[in-house]
Amino acid sequence: AAPLLKLRGLEQVFDTKKGPVAAVGGVDLEVQAGKVLCLVGESGCGKTTTARAAAGITRPTAGAVEFRGKSLTDMTPGEKTAYRRAVQYIHQDPYAALNPTRTVASTLTAGLKRHGLVKNRTEARAKAAELLQLVDLTPPESYLDSYPHQLSGGQRQRVNVARSLAMNPELLICDESTSMLDVSIRVSLLNTLGRLRDDLDVGFLFITHDLAVAKYFAWDGEIAVMYLGKVVEHGPTPEVIGNPQHPYTKALIGAVCEPDPDLAKANAAAEQLRSAEIPSLTDLPAGCAFHPRCPAYEPGLCDSTEPALERTGAAGGRRRVSCHIVARDQRRGSVQAAAGR
């Protein structure tokens, strides 16, 4: 079956005063139904731009966004409407995303009424209560008539999630949706989202700069690490976190300050970066864009040709890495394995 969401050669170029900026430079990714794909990377790496294109908020400069095998550009108006309902975007700021003059019930039922999904006020209120139950805001009667200012940040974000569930989504795009919350509230919301994924078979494109969050939420799914608009490493979460291959992934994991053996063991890699500075998108380095910072940089190789995002690891696996050295080691390993046969 076709993946739920497929990004094919996605490019997003913005015109700026300093000239065109490729915020996303050719991204190929898939999200399967009921699965999580986490996009991680530092701010400015293109995560949100990718997510906005995937949600149909912006039109990509090149490449395609496909939902259930159909490109957005080929959809009929009816299919587009269905897509907009099936794909819901949950923003970072739970405060800004809610209308302060609307009660929770009014917020949750506005979309239902607009799409003709409820017949009358009683049915709308019952549906709103059901949605609040789904996001663990119980008893719902305590929240239905509240205004956003009467709720905590975590409760407001749950209302945002409930509003998106009103449309029976197949894919939730969460853009740093838990990053403004305190740690214990964040974990609790991640647990709720995980339950929705399992119970409702909802897929997630989950954007975070926080490796610990990615590890927690996407352990059964996949991680794609982005750097300067490109995916540099992608694969099943346990493989990427437990055995990072791209020097940038190693540094990113090593920069996480927490007593987690998997995340802490690469600390040395973070400290070995040749430069802390991220190059500008308007003046991308030649060859591998990571080469001015990379501790494994080889002059003449890394600064001349851009490495492709190539499959690596066991045959049939889903691991991809864009690094000349990883590709060379992989080739050598294959030759040695063939010679030893």
- Residues near ligand SF4, by CB under 6 A: 246-247, 288, 290-291, 294, 296-298, 302, 307, 323-325
Report, in Å, the least distance between residue 280 CB and ligand SF4.
17
Report, in Å, the least distance between residue 311 CB and ligand SF4.
16
Amino acid at 206: F
Report, in Å, the least distance between residue 59 CB and ligand SF4.
31
**Token reading at 35:** 């699965």
Complex with ligand SF4: residue 260 or 298, whichever CB lies closer: 298
Complex with ligand SF4: residue 28 or 303, whichever CB lies closer: 303
Report, in Å, the least distance between residue 329 CB and ligand SF4.
10
Q: Which of 64, 61, 79 is nearest to 20 (CA)?
A: 61
Neighbour count for residue 5 (Cβ, 10 Å) = 24
Complex with ligand SF4: residue 76 or 275, whichever CB lies closer: 275
83 Cβ partners below 8 Å, 6+ apart?
A: 56, 67, 72, 75
238 Cβ partners below 8 Å, 6+ apart?
A: 219
Report, in Å, the least distance between residue 51 CB and ligand SF4.
24
**What sign results for the dihedral spanned by CA atoms 217, 185, 50, 108?**
positive
Complex with ligand SF4: residue 218 or 289, whichever CB lies closer: 289
Complex with ligand SF4: residue 257 or 308, whichever CB lies closer: 308
What pairing do the DSSP bridges indicate for beta strands 70-71 and 19-31? unpaired
Cα–Cα distance, 271 to 251 (Å, whole number)? 8
Cα–Cα distance, 71 to 52 (Å, whole number)? 15
Complex with ligand SF4: residue 215 or 324, whichever CB lies closer: 324
Cα–Cα distance, 1 to 78 (Å, whole number)? 22
Report, in Å, the least distance between residue 289 CB and ligand SF4.
8
